[in-house]
A and B are shown apart, each in its own frame.
Chain A
Amino acid sequence: MSATAAAVHSLWTTRALADTAATPAIPTPHIEYAQLSPVLIVFGAAVLGVLIEAFAPRAARYAGQLAVSVVGLAAAFAALVALAADGYAQGRSHVAAMGAVAVDGPALFLQGTIVLIALVATFTFAERRLDPVAHGNRVDSFAAQGSAVPGGEQEQKAVRAGFTTTEVFPLLLFAVAGMMIFPAADDLLTLFVSLEVFSLPLYLLCALARRRRLMSQEASVKYFLLGAFSSAILLFGIALLYGYAGTVSYGGIADVVDGTAKLTPALANTTGNDALLLIGGAMVVMGLLFKVAAVPFHMWTPDVYQGAPTPVTGFMAAAVKVAAFGALLRLLYVVLPGMRWDWRPVMWGVAIVTMVVGAIIAVTQTDVKRLLAYSSIAHAGFLLTGVIAVSPSGVSSVLFYLVAYSFVTLGGFAVVTLVRDAGGEATHLSKWAGLGRRSPLLAAVFAVFLLSFAGIPLTAGFSGKFAVFKAAAQGGAVPLVVVGVISSAIAAFFYIRVIVMMFFQEPQPQGPTVAIPSPLTSTAIALGVAVTLVLGVAPQYFLDLAGKAGVFVR
């Protein structure tokens, strides 16, 4: 059993080069700053952002924050590219920071994706042309003053004074840094800490909508409560796994699962107890499934997506999914492959329920943001089919799918911010009727995104779906693929219904207007369209890239 497990295991993991020789005393922490530089840059930029909030005059904050964010993210991306070019993505894969953070292909690929998503999200965060000028001030999508009671006197003062919450930029950066560590975490504690590092800023960001603040705050509280609940379960699972293996390091647990580890005498009573492994593993996996919004841990998604400020929703929908799927892949492929016969059937069930429920509930949605929320749930199901493949092509197909999905999602939510009426964004679907007549370009762009979500050929969505389904089928999960295709067909119904509404229905007399965005939002949308078409028409280069990046370090 252990020999075959090791053989299969070696398909997608390589041994780290670093020799972790056992030392008796507590060692001086050895930190590879260069290899961690992308995360450190983002953290640094976030801290700088906090300092700007504290010391810079109010008028200068917006420009300063924007500059710090953009420069910080760009520098982080450059550092990632440099690391990849240095061979860390393949031959020199490495576990840095005393076994806490992996620097390998999947980590660098996902971090790069997250940083790019964050860069685009920064643009949509910074958009100030959508709302009409109020009291001589241009404002963005965020509350004038987060602490003010909605509808209260203080809020009105803040609005009149033209305040804006520029804290969103450092919050975004903190979240990004956490997300970057999340898929790279190589022990369970780092996993948990990074989860909290990126979750807490997101809870705050969700509460900061300028319009419909009560709904926004409700979303935030729901997200916080349920997130805390799931974190608790995750942490419990970590404790059980520690009890099982006597270590929290991924490699260490994997060795125990494979039966190749030396057991710690102090924990001899529990070590190797399979019940602990199974229960703990299931609970940790549950914590991650909550983040990717898999059924039945999905219920926060529609409410939070709808209530959060739309740029935040876009960012969450894209980046959280990338980070959480990265962590899930690493957990299942590095820690738990030895027990894949146990978790695969369970994940089959989760994937099937996720795809089917996501697609079916979306059919009766009447709000664009909720529709996209259910769509993201269904996509989580499609991604899970790739995860379940347990093969190198499973890893690379999921990586590719994440890129394709995240940029389309960002673009889609950016379009949602543009369709407005007197109450802000007009998210009710009935108001989108006839949009194609009024602004054909915008409607056409949204149609492209919807077609990509639906997985129509020549869009990124098709390439991604094809890749994960192919990987799943090769892994023997043909019934799963059948369910996936049927769910896609159901999903196509509601995507195309929106297109039909936009192009083939008469516009309403008091329909919404389409705001003319600044180049910031236009860039986000254009990038979404470009990624959709490039990955749809010529996906091979990116598939190869994802394929090269598909080997985990251990």
Chain B
Amino acid sequence: MDPLIGALVGAPLLGAGILLVGGRRLDRTGHWIGCLWAAVSFVIGVVLFADLLSRSPAQRTLTSHLFTWVPVAGFQADVGFQLDQLSMTFVLLITGVGTLIHIYSVGYMEHDENRRKFFGYLNLFLAAMLLLVLADNYLLLYVGWEGVGLASYLLIGFWQHKPSAATAAKKAFLVNRVGDMGLSIAIMVMFTTFGSFAFRPVFAHVGDVSQGRLTTIGLLLLLAACGKSAQVPLQSWLGDAMEGPTPVSALIHAATMVTAGVYLVVRSGAIFNAAPTAQLAVCVVGAVTLVFGAIVGCAKDDIKKALAGSTMSQIGYMMLAAGLGPIGYVFAIMHLVTHGFFKAGLFLGAGSVMHGMNDEVDMRRFGALRTYMPVTFVTFGLGYLAIIGFPGLSGYWSKDKIIEAAFAKGGTEGWTLGAVALVGAGITAFYMTRVMLMTFFGDKRWQPDAEGHEPHPHESPKIMTIPMSILAFGSVFAGGLFSINSAFLKWLQPVTGHSDGHSPVATWEITVATLVVLILGVGLAWQSYGRQAVPAVAPRGSLLTRAARRDLLQDDFNHVVLVRGGEHLTRSLVYLDHTVVDGAVNGTAAGVGGLSGRLRRLQNGFVRSYAVSMLGGTAVLVAATLLMRGV
């Protein structure tokens, strides 16, 4: 079976190659080629999954060594794959959701003349993401890590004729560079510490290394995770990334790529377990981000940006869980999977709404769409219920477990983290209800678009609604299925390990508390957006609202501290360059030139002068030789 692992990555890579090299002659069939290769890799994923299931839990790690990439003595970089339960989970999520979104995009991108290129990039993304989760060493993981970054950049800026999209792509790229630096330095530190960067030897020797080293590696990995997963303080790019086509937002910036940071932390569990400081940092980042994202989500009127805030917040939950160590790893991944379903579904729903509303994204110009788009309404609604944690649906199973695990950490930390997670659940309920109400309920607040076309909302074609329905199905049942007999826990436990912790609060107490904050959040939203009419122009709002609309001033902060600071630094360096460096260089050049001109005059063309020079030279030579002996 092992060669199949390579084929898993190879299939979409081949697809990307065909689509991007094939050129215009594939314009008419390109989208189906893209879907085909995505589906092929999904089928391979399923076959491998069946193979894993047929083995005993201890035997469920497959490896495949392709070739030695850098064969230098002492520095062995292999291209090798490792498929275990953790990777398998990701493979199924990536290829499954990926295939659905490919199919959806056939409809969504129907009128785009660059559809072939779009599918080429999507395939490229799948290949890179699969490489990321299948690599058996950090260096190859880094290749995939950069690959998804590239695909993300290309797809955010897919409509690069819009300056906002081009800028957003650049911003995402730059912010991600900061995180990527963290990963590359982490790999270097790892190499100097362990003499290797393959998972197996590194994790095996964690016990032999000083805590300081491990903490360093852990914090660097966290920096990488923050960049890729849009966690505070590297979160600023995700909102702008919504400039990309909606399927991209669904696949890359909600379901898969942005969760790569969580994967990295869980994969590096052995390192984090031995570095409590780094672990605590992960928890703090997660907790801060989950509140941060939720608050931003409350204030946004752009439906995609509201969902983006929500994504940030949900990944904050996962990070929090991942930082809890063995108590939380499994639930981090479980929430990651269920989130993959419902968030992808929500984004596709948003895309469907935009499709019917002349690409309008402002929710203040929606309203009353439930009767015009029944399928979208139902699928979106199910996703909504899942994300707020409505009992029985997917989000309920995974998010409650995270809140429980946070309390189970124990001590002040446990109480604090648990409380934050609980409050976050309430805010989630508030902003998601707000989105739901503003979009599908209330009065029609439709307005003609910039070219004066009146919107005629209509249901999207089947090719879009079917993937939405499948995802909605997952949103409803996945969590429950995973929890029957703790199936997901047992599946993942051999890789990540698990411990229950000692929760100071009983499970039922947490469930009740969660339900209470849920009802509070929904009620508050109903009060503000259900019972009162939604104004078509946003009111001024409180200081917090205004700050939240500006993404809690993250860009302003970056601008003042980093951009201005960078500009000053650049200017002073340029000044230094002009005066000192150039001055030295030009001075030297002038000096050499002057000396050259003067020496040149010795070359006067007269043999007698030349002979004198030779005679003098000989005299000096003889004298110097004698002098040397004398000394």
Indicate if the CB atoms of A357 and B621 lie closer than 8 Å. no
Cβ of A226 under 8 Å from chain B: yes
| Nearest CB in chain B to that of A490: its residue | B592
**Which chain B residues in 604-631 approach chain A with CB under 8 Å?**
605, 607, 609-611, 613-614, 616-618, 620-622, 624-626, 628-629
The interface residues of chain A lying within 8 Å CB-to-CB of B595 are 360
User: Would A296 and B617 be within 8 Å (CB), given that A229-B611, A360-B596, A490-B592 are in contact?
Assistant: yes
Indicate if the CB atoms of A346 and B618 lie closer than 8 Å. no
Indicate if the CB atoms of A363 and B618 lie closer than 8 Å. no
In-complex Cβ contact of A364 among B593, B620, B625 (8 A): B593
Nearest CB of B to A212, in Å: 15
Indicate if the CB atoms of A297 and B614 lie closer than 8 Å. yes
Indicate if the CB atoms of A493 and B614 lie closer than 8 Å. no
User: Would A278 and B614 be within 8 Å (CB), given that A225-B607, A361-B600, A363-B596 are in contact?
Assistant: no
Cβ of B50 under 8 Å from chain A: no
**C-alpha gap A233/B622 in the complex (Å):** 12
Indicate if the CB atoms of B599 and A286 lie closer than 8 Å. no
Indicate if the CB atoms of B628 and A342 lie closer than 8 Å. yes
**C-alpha gap A391/B625 in the complex (Å):** 21
Cβ of A281 under 8 Å from chain B: yes
Bitwise, A223-246 to B at CB < 8 A (1) or not (0) is: 001100110010000000000000
The interface residues of chain A lying within 8 Å CB-to-CB of B613 are 296-297, 299
**Which chain A residues in 278-311 approach chain B with CB under 8 Å?**
278-279, 281-283, 285-286, 289-290, 295-297, 299-300, 302-303
Cβ of A82 under 8 Å from chain B: no
User: Would A278 and B600 be within 8 Å (CB), given that A225-B611, A286-B617 are in contact?
Assistant: no
The interface residues of chain B lying within 8 Å CB-to-CB of A275 are 626
The interface residues of chain A lying within 8 Å CB-to-CB of B607 are 221-222, 225-226
User: Would A303 and B628 be within 8 Å (CB), given that A285-B621, A286-B618, A364-B600 are in contact?
Assistant: no
Indicate if the CB atoms of B600 and A346 lie closer than 8 Å. no
Bitwise, B180-202 to A at CB < 8 A (1) or not (0) is: 00000000000000000000000
User: Would A493 and B596 be within 8 Å (CB), given that A226-B611, A282-B625, A346-B628 are in contact?
Assistant: no
In-complex Cβ contact of A341 among B616, B620, B628 (8 A): B628
Looking at chain A's contact residues, the main secondary structure is helix
The interface residues of chain A lying within 8 Å CB-to-CB of B625 are 278-279, 281-282, 342-343, 346
| Nearest CB in chain B to that of A296: its residue | B617
Indicate if the CB atoms of A361 and B622 lie closer than 8 Å. no
Cβ of B589 under 8 Å from chain A: yes
Cβ of B163 under 8 Å from chain A: no
Cβ of A506 under 8 Å from chain B: no
Cβ of B603 under 8 Å from chain A: yes
**C-alpha gap A13/B441 in the complex (Å):** 100
**C-alpha gap A515/B415 in the complex (Å):** 88
Cβ of B212 under 8 Å from chain A: no
In-complex Cβ contact of B603 among A226, A278, A302 (8 A): A302
| Nearest CB in chain B to that of A359: its residue | B592
**Which chain A residues in 344-379 approach chain B with CB under 8 Å?**
345-346, 349-350, 357, 360-364
User: Would A296 and B616 be within 8 Å (CB), given that A226-B610, A364-B596, A490-B592 are in contact?
Assistant: yes
Bitwise, A302-323 to B at CB < 8 A (1) or not (0) is: 1100000000000000000000
Indicate if the CB atoms of A282 and B618 lie closer than 8 Å. yes
**C-alpha gap A279/B625 in the complex (Å):** 8
In-complex Cβ contact of B597 among A229, A341, A364, A490 (8 A): A364
| Nearest CB in chain B to that of A494: its residue | B596
Nearest CB of B to A360, in Å: 5
User: Would A279 and B622 be within 8 Å (CB), given that A296-B617, A363-B593, A493-B589 are in contact?
Assistant: yes
Cβ of A544 under 8 Å from chain B: no
Nearest CB of B to A204, in Å: 18
Indicate if the CB atoms of B610 and A342 lie closer than 8 Å. no
**C-alpha gap A493/B585 in the complex (Å):** 12
The interface residues of chain A lying within 8 Å CB-to-CB of B618 are 233, 282-283, 286
Indicate if the CB atoms of A274 and B629 lie closer than 8 Å. yes
Bitwise, B2-15 to A at CB < 8 A (1) or not (0) is: 00000000000000
Among A221, A222, A279, A346, the one with the most B-chain Cβ atoms within 10 Å of its Cβ is: A346
Nearest CB of B to A221, in Å: 8
In-complex Cβ contact of B596 among A300, A346, A361 (8 A): A361
**C-alpha gap A296/B603 in the complex (Å):** 11
The interface residues of chain A lying within 8 Å CB-to-CB of B614 are 226, 229-230, 233, 286, 290, 296-297, 299
User: Would A345 and B617 be within 8 Å (CB), given that A225-B611, A226-B610, A299-B610 are in contact?
Assistant: no
| Nearest CB in chain B to that of A357: its residue | B599
**C-alpha gap A360/B593 in the complex (Å):** 7
**Which chain B residues in 130-162 approach chain A with CB under 8 Å?**
none
Nearest CB of A to B320, in Å: 51
Indicate if the CB atoms of A283 and B622 lie closer than 8 Å. yes
**C-alpha gap A343/B628 in the complex (Å):** 8
Nearest CB of A to B246, in Å: 49
Nearest CB of A to B586, in Å: 12
Bitwise, A482-518 to B at CB < 8 A (1) or not (0) is: 0000000010010000000000000000000000000
Nearest CB of A to B582, in Å: 15
The interface residues of chain A lying within 8 Å CB-to-CB of B593 are 363-364
Indicate if the CB atoms of A363 and B610 lie closer than 8 Å. no
User: Would A342 and B596 be within 8 Å (CB), given that A225-B607, A297-B617 are in contact?
Assistant: no
The interface residues of chain B lying within 8 Å CB-to-CB of A222 are 607, 610
Indicate if the CB atoms of B592 and A363 lie closer than 8 Å. yes
| Nearest CB in chain A to that of B595: its residue | A360
Bitwise, A196-236 to B at CB < 8 A (1) or not (0) is: 00000000000000000000000001100110011001000
**Which chain B residues in 486-526 approach chain A with CB under 8 Å?**
none
| Nearest CB in chain B to that of A290: its residue | B614
Bitwise, B578-602 to A at CB < 8 A (1) or not (0) is: 0000000000010011011101101
The interface residues of chain B lying within 8 Å CB-to-CB of A225 are 607, 611
The interface residues of chain A lying within 8 Å CB-to-CB of B603 are 299, 302-303, 361
Indicate if the CB atoms of B599 and A346 lie closer than 8 Å. no
**C-alpha gap A519/B617 in the complex (Å):** 44
Nearest CB of B to A335, in Å: 14
**C-alpha gap A278/B631 in the complex (Å):** 14
Lowest 3 A-B CB distances belong to which pairs? A296-B617, A299-B610, A363-B596
| 20 A-B residue pairs with CB within 8 Å | A226-B611, A230-B614, A233-B618, A278-B622, A279-B625, A282-B618, A282-B624, A286-B618, A286-B621, A296-B613, A296-B614, A299-B609, A299-B610, A299-B614, A342-B625, A346-B625, A349-B624, A360-B592, A360-B595, A363-B592
Residues on B close to A: CB < 8 A?
Answer: 589, 592-593, 595-597, 599-600, 602-603, 605, 607, 609-611, 613-614, 616-618, 620-622, 624-626, 628-629
Given contacts A285-B621, A299-B602, A361-B603, 18 further A-B contacts (CB under 8 A): A226-B611, A274-B629, A278-B626, A279-B622, A282-B618, A296-B616, A299-B609, A302-B603, A342-B625, A343-B628, A345-B624, A345-B628, A349-B624, A357-B599, A360-B595, A361-B596, A363-B596, A493-B592
